[in-house]
Structures are given as structure tokens and as C-alpha cells.
Structure 1
Amino acid sequence: MRELDAIINQYELLKNEGTQSVLATVVHVEGSSYRRAGARMLVDEFGNITGAISGGCLEGDALRKALHAMYQQKNKLITYDTSDEDDAIIGAQLGCNGIIQVLFESLNYQDQMNPCELLKKVIAQKDPLAIVVQFNLDKIKEQYGTSMIIDEKSTFWGKKPEQELLEQILEQSQLVLKENQSVFAELSLHKETSHIFIQIYQPPVKLIIVGAGNDAQILAQQADLLGWDVIVTDGRPTHANKERFTSSCQVIVSKPGETLENIEIDQRSCFVLMSHNYNYDLAVLKLLLDEQKIPYIGLLGPLKKYQRMLDDLKEGGFELKDEILKKIHAPVGLEIGAETPAEIGLSILSEIQSVLTGKTARPLKEKSTPIHEKKDNQFKKVNVKLN
């Protein structure tokens, strides 16, 4: 289960029990930090925590700040400076060397537009969304908090700001959705300055495993731990059944030519063909060649198997365009010396992650620049024009 799903599940329990709670969100990071902007945790009145905003160094003090915000029923912005090695509050001295802004929002269960109600809508969507969090680095100013979610059609849910401000937020949100990159902006309106964090939300990766062997079982478990949506399909009911796979997996028994009939494909749908049956895998691959949205197709097995498939496809009259061939990864996975099914699963999932994020998968020690680009943390200055 993904962290955001766990937070919303816990929120529902607390709401039903009438237990007060606060949502803490990292809204900006300058420098290094274990968690980036968009990390969240839910704190209840008894001090129980769901989620995390750091590697553990901030949670203790953040719990106290959350309870204080709960007592005052007021949003609060707190700054943590992990570059101060003498800071006894943080204490862990992890050497992150960053300045972290955390927004604490007390949750009103009667408000159908409170932050967690908006996030509940977010996790129910199957398309990318922009999550808008309004705050102010001048802590004496009002901290509006998580206020809106916006889709690719500029449809929004939440608390509508002034029209001029809304227009700028919608414009910036469309850039976020187009570029798949969160943004920080400093907005000026009526000589007042406020800040917004517009977070890109991508729905879970959908991993479709073709084949229900023992190695597929392990791969499904590993993907489930990542919070991915897993679908397993195979023609053998003895293998493709709920007893063999985690409860969250969708298991489909079908002939290879019918594989896609019960699967909704989107831009996060990744396929791994590992039935250990050449003809079965080939038949499914033929179906996938016409699916433009698919970003990744992995084929388990040696290179000669893939080369044989290409020959058979050409003889069958299939057009193998470069844009399709670039999506096919055969043999599947990164070269990490994988031998066991679990190691092979790690290799496959790592490759899928690198493809979806557009990263090189090289060792971080070979990277001469910071892990996270500093330009991504800069506030874009936007002057809101009055109509």
C-alpha cells in the first residue's frame, strides 16, 4: 500500500471514531533532505503517526508541533534547519544539510474540502492531478494549506481563491501536469505575497505480469510493496488463482489472445511477459504492438528468444516501428548480477522505475551534482494581473 493510501485509510478510521488529527506536509526543501516536498504524515490526538516527513529525525518534534496545531485549531508553518549540527531539537545529525518547511493542518471533519477529503479524491483518480498547497514563508500570515486539486482539463475541486489568483494557479497547474514536474511559486496580488507548492500526482504504476509461475508470485509481492497496482494473467487456472498471489493482486485467467479484454491500459501500464511459454508470450506481444500508451514491455528470457520473436513478427507481417521497439526491454531488467527470483524481480522493478522516471539507473556516486536538482526547489515569481 502506498503511503498516501495508508494515510487516507487511517484518516477514515479517525474520522469515524471522532478522534482529532492533523496532517503534516513538507511544502518546501532547500538543500538536502531525506524526504522531499509532498511527503506527508497524519498525527492523531494520542500521538499515533501514519506516514513520514523525514527519515526519523523530525518526527519527534513534529509530533509536538502537530498537537499544538490541533489544540489551537490553526494551520502552522514550521521551519527545520538540518544544516545546524548543534540543533538539539532535530538531534539525529544526519548531515542532510537542508532547510525544510513543514505545514501542519488541523483537520475539521465537518469540512468536506479539508485536506484529507481532497486527498481522498486524489487517490480515487486514475489520471494525473495537481495538488495545490498554499502557504506563506512569513509565518505571521495566514497559512491556507491544501486547498485545491486540478486535472488536465482545469477542472478543480476545493476552495476557490480570488479569480485572478485562481487563473494563475490553473495556469501553473497545467504546466505541472504537462511537464510532470512539481513547482514552487511566489505569487504577488494586492501587494501581498504568498507561496504555493503545486505537486504533481501520478496514479500508481500498473504492472501487468503475463504468466503466473513461482517467479511471478515473487515479482507481484515486490511490486505490491512498492504500492503498484498488480494484475496477473495466465491461461492456467491452477497457477492463476487468488490463493497463490497477494490479496491486492487482480488475477485473470485468459487465453493469450484475450489478455487485454479485461485490462484498462493507461500511460502507467507496464507489461512483463514471463509465462515461460514462447508462443504465449509471442501472442501477447502481438497485442501490445498496437497499444501506443504503454511505456514499458519487458520480456523474460535470453536475447536469442527476443531475436526469434522479432523474426516471427516480421514473417507475420507485423510492422516494427522504432517507437515500439524502444519500449521493449529484452532481456528484461538491469544488470545487477541477479540469479534468484527475488533478485530478478528487483532487477525488473528497478528498470521499470528508471524508465518511468527517465533516469539513467547509474550509481549515485557517479553523479557530480546533488541527488535532487536545486533548480526544482526555486520559487517561480509570478505577478498576478488584475482583470
Structure 2
Amino acid sequence: MKELIDIVAAYDIAAKQGKKTALAIVVQVEGSAYRRAGARMLITEDGQLTGAISGGCLEGDALRKARLVILQQEPMLVTYDTTDDDDAKLGVGLGCNGIIHILIEPINEEPNNPISFLKTVIASRKNAVLVTLFSVEDRKAPQPGTCLCLTESGLLLNGLENSAHHAQIIIDAKRVMENGKSETKLYDGAMPYTAFVEFIKPLFSLVIIGAGNDAVPLAKFASVLGWDTTVIDGRPNYALPERFPSAQKVIVAKPEQVLSHISINEHTAFVLMTHNYNYELALLKELLPLQLNYIGILGPKKKLARLLAEIEDGGQKVTEEQLKSVYGPVGLDIGSEGSEEIALSIVAEIKAVLSHRKGYSLKYKPASIHAPHLTTITN
């Protein structure tokens, strides 16, 4: 999501300066590649790049292709076969042993262009689906490009009405929204087309409870990742915007006031680091019944055990299901020393938990890093 936000910001700057642009998107990967389907890069006519479609090996060639797309105002599908040794001679050998299909489409002034779709997705702050339609079988055929945007607020189309598959594509987009998993689908016919039906999650939201000095690097790390960050503390001399310039909100609030200041969904994480036992006790009582996916608590296990025992002694039952979301001591075991390294371990754990990953070294992962998108064929 951060890449999308950066691309939209770069586009707005380019548009104000009168620069023409194109958007490159990885639409399909066969085998291994540095970036997977959904990676995007904005290219301006003067060569400025925002985002990435590879580890840096494809960007130069994509820039040349994008300038042609901007000139001709027609989308172009480009395929890089990194399993072919000849690619190394062309300067695009990635060592990834995969085939990468990249669609490059011009950004024009029409209302539902790809950038306007990205803006709609970002503004929704909820799950969304984008559909990019292309033809691998005939790269010289018309490449429809980004043609559908589905959010909880409604459906937007860009040229999809002219496709023979439009009704089925809308059905597939709604199914992906419901299933929460991207798909690559082939539509047979006189002119076969492939659709990358992309499920996009909203930004992670991090609520840091505590505005002490050790919260500062945590807010900075979250900002680098593009997370929507809120810092809350009961001390007005600590909860100051100038101490947390990267946070979207800095709020002074008592424990019972915290929830009234924020919007919570399945992508929201809390980290309690006030060093104030009574504050965290009062807030934890309110957070546990919400069945959040992540509540991190700074401090030793004895502190967490005491908090939970005191909550139960007060008559509030703490269930096993509620305990699954509580992470204390907070953070992954990476040998952290000092507030910066502790912040690193915390954001790594939050990312792993909210992404439903284990957080161990990829060296020990038995399968490929990225699971392939489901591919289906319809007649």
C-alpha cells in the first residue's frame, strides 16, 4: 500500500508540472522473480521512477518502453524471460529464473484512469479489488489494462463495458473481494485475455500507547513502512506532535477515552508501552473483548501475567481466544538492545502476525517465498 501512496503522490507532482506519465505493473510471474504480480512503478517522460517492478534490473528497459507508450498513448505488454541466458546479454538478467509479464499503460486525463483507481483504493481505507486485463497470447493485440476498481463503496469501470468478458470479470472481482485472495484468470474466446484480479488490503494501522522516548523510533519505523500511526498518552508534555512528526495523530487521552479517538479493523495493531501499569491495566480491559489481531505489551512476562490476573480478579473473564492476540513480551527474538532495535523487533512481529506468517528465517521455508496466484480457465 505504501508503494501505491508514493506513486499517487509522485503522479500529482508530475501532473502539476505538466509531465506525461505511464504506469508499469507486474501482471503475471511464471517461476521466480524479485517482485510478484501487483508491483507497480510510475514513470515520467523525463525518466523519474517511483515504485519498483524488479530489484533494479528491469527498470532501465522499462523506462525506454514507457517513453514509447507515452508517445503512442497505447498500453504495451512486455515480457522478460530470465530463464534465457540471452537476457543477460541484454542487461536484464536477474538470476531469478522466471518469466515476468509487465503491462505499461499511459496515464491520460480520463476520469477512471489507473491513478484515479489507486486514489479510490487508498481513500477507501478498506479492502479493494483492481482488475488488469491483458493478452499474453498476442502482445500486439489491444491491451485493455486497468479496467475495474471494486471497493465497499461501489464499482468503477474503465473500458470494461467493451469487453466480451465484462460480466464474468465483475463476478470474479466480487468473488476475490469475498475470498481475500488475488487470482490470475484466463478467458477463452476468439481473442483470449488474461485478467490479474488483485486483492488489495488497506494500510496497517498502528496505535502506540505511550509517548516516551522509546516510542519515537517505533513511530519512525512505522512511517518508513507507510503505516497509519497514532500515538496516545495521558501526559500532555509527552504527547506532542513535534515529538512524533511522522505520526498521523498524536492524542492526549485517558484510558477510557482511547477507543473514541480511533477506528479499528482487522489490520489494526496496538502496542502498550506507557511504563504506567495502571494506565495499561485500564486500557487492556477494554481492548481484550474487541478480539483484535494484535496487542503488544512492552515488559517482562511477569508484568503481563499480573495484568491478566488482576483483570480476572476484577470479574472480567479472559478467554483463550483473547489471549491469542496478546503478545508479551512484545517483539521478535532478534537479540534487540536499545529502543531502536526493540522497535525493529516490534514492527517485524506486527508485520508477521497481521500477514499470517511465522516470522522465521526464509532459509527454513520449505516452499517458495510467494505462493502462486490461483489460475482458472473459463470458456
Deviation at 1:200, TM superposition (A): 1.1
Distance 2:82 2:199 in 1: 25
1:30-55 superposed Cα distances (whole Å, 9 cap, x missing partner)? 11111111111111111111111111
1:314 corresponds to which letter in structure 2?
Answer: E
Partner of 1:282 in structure 2?
A: 281
Q: Classify the secondary structure of the residue corresponding to 1:87.
A: helix
8 A contact 1:29–1:101 mirrored in 2: yes
Distance 2:90 2:179 in 1: 35
Partner of 2:340 in structure 1?
A: 342
1:247-282 superposed Cα distances (whole Å, 9 cap, x missing partner)? 443100011111111111112111000101111111
Deviation at 1:177, TM superposition (A): 2.2
Q: Classify the secondary structure of the residue corresponding to 1:317.
A: coil
2:70 corresponds to which letter in structure 1?
Answer: M
Distance 1:174 1:351 in 2: 31
Query: Does 2:265 align with 1:266?
Result: yes
Distance 2:221 2:133 in 1: 36
Distance 1:181 1:355 in 2: 17
Q: Could you say what the CA RMSD is over the residues aligned between the two structures, in angstroms?
A: 1.7
1:380 corresponds to which letter in structure 2?
Answer: T
Q: TM-score, normalised by structure 1?
A: 0.93
Query: Does 2:73 align with 1:76?
Result: no
Deviates more, 1:195-204 or 1:171-180: 171-180
Partner of 2:376 in structure 1?
A: 380
Partner of 2:323 in structure 1?
A: 325
8 A contact 1:61–1:90 mirrored in 2: no
Partner of 2:228 in structure 1?
A: 229
Deviation at 1:91, TM superposition (A): 2.2
Partner of 1:101 in structure 2?
A: 101
1:15 corresponds to which letter in structure 2?
Answer: A
Deviation at 1:194, TM superposition (A): 0.8
1:61 corresponds to which letter in structure 2?
Answer: D
1:300 corresponds to which letter in structure 2?
Answer: L
Deviation at 1:233, TM superposition (A): 0.1
Q: Classify the secondary structure of the residue corresponding to 1:33.
A: coil
2:303 to 302, 305, 314: 305
Q: Classify the secondary structure of the residue corresponding to 1:279.
A: helix
8 A contact 2:255–2:283 mirrored in 1: yes
1:139 corresponds to which letter in structure 2?
Answer: R
Residue 356 and residue 89 in structure 1: after superposition, are their counterparts in 2 closer, same or farther (change >3 A)? farther
2:352 to 348, 351, 354: 354
Partner of 2:314 in structure 1?
A: 316
Q: TM-score, normalised by structure 2?
A: 0.95
8 A contact 1:220–1:249 mirrored in 2: no
Residue 5 and residue 77 in structure 1: after superposition, are their counterparts in 2 closer, same or farther (change >3 A)? same
Distance 2:155 2:203 in 1: 21
Distance 2:259 2:38 in 1: 34
Unaligned runs of 5+ in 1: none
Partner of 1:29 in structure 2?
A: 29
1:297 corresponds to which letter in structure 2?
Answer: I
Deviation at 1:88, TM superposition (A): 4.1
1:355 corresponds to which letter in structure 2?
Answer: V
1:114-153 superposed Cα distances (whole Å, 9 cap, x missing partner)? 1111111111111100011011102122100011111257
Deviation at 1:287, TM superposition (A): 1.1
Partner of 1:60 in structure 2?
A: 60
Distance 1:77 1:172 in 2: 22
Unaligned runs of 5+ in 2: none
Distance 1:167 1:158 in 2: 12
1:100-179 to 2 correspondences below 5 Å:
100-109=100-109, 111-137=110-136, 138-152=138-152, 155-159=154-158, 160-161=160-161, 165-179=165-179
Deviation at 1:162, TM superposition (A): 5.5
Q: Classify the secondary structure of the residue corresponding to 1:283.
A: helix
8 A contact 2:223–2:246 mirrored in 1: no
1:8 corresponds to which letter in structure 2?
Answer: V
Q: How many residues align?
A: 377
8 A contact 2:82–2:92 mirrored in 1: no
Distance 2:309 2:282 in 1: 14
8 A contact 2:121–2:151 mirrored in 1: no
Distance 1:266 1:369 in 2: 30
Partner of 1:253 in structure 2?
A: 252
Moved over 3 A (4+): none
Residue 92 and residue 74 in structure 1: after superposition, are their counterparts in 2 closer, same or farther (change >3 A)? closer
Distance 1:158 1:286 in 2: 45
Q: Classify the secondary structure of the residue corresponding to 1:181.
A: coil
8 A contact 1:234–1:253 mirrored in 2: yes
Residue 248 and residue 275 in structure 1: after superposition, are their counterparts in 2 closer, same or farther (change >3 A)? closer
1:51-90 superposed Cα distances (whole Å, 9 cap, x missing partner)? 1111100000000000011111110000011222332465
1:323 corresponds to which letter in structure 2?
Answer: E
Deviation at 1:207, TM superposition (A): 0.1
Deviates more, 1:9-18 or 1:126-135: 9-18
